[in-house]
Structure 1
Amino acid sequence: MKKQQPDLSRRSLLKTLTVGSAATAVVAASGISVAHAKEGNAVSKQNKDGYHETAHIRAYYNSLRS
């Protein structure tokens, strides 16, 4: 009975997918934090009296569209 050789191309594919998924998650997380930082600066410069659209209000409006 012959031993089967491990399929190296399959292993390399799985490793690539794992590393790619982790890298995508890191990029997405850093993009979100940058967006929040920019938004914070914009809100602080606006007039604080009266109605102003904030992140949680935008999130609520977006949830209504779905």
Structure 2
Amino acid sequence: MARHRVFINYHPANDQWAKYELQKWNQQGNLLVDLSVNSKDVDDSRPTETIRKVIPDNALRVSKVTIVLVGM
């Protein structure tokens, strides 16, 4: 079965737990290639424009699916 290239967009301080759950689920079935930015690579206290520069445009271009985790 082909694996889907997925970009996961989330807020590390609020939704990291959900990203971990997706990663655990993926380990069981090996269904996706995670192209999202590692939370350690993003300093949440920096300006939005600076954070956006960390997200590689290439990851967004080559992904076929985007998952947006929306928390509280």
- TM normalised by structure 1 equals 0.26
Larger radius of gyration: 1
Which one has the bigger helix percentage?
Answer: 1
- TM normalised by structure 2 equals 0.24
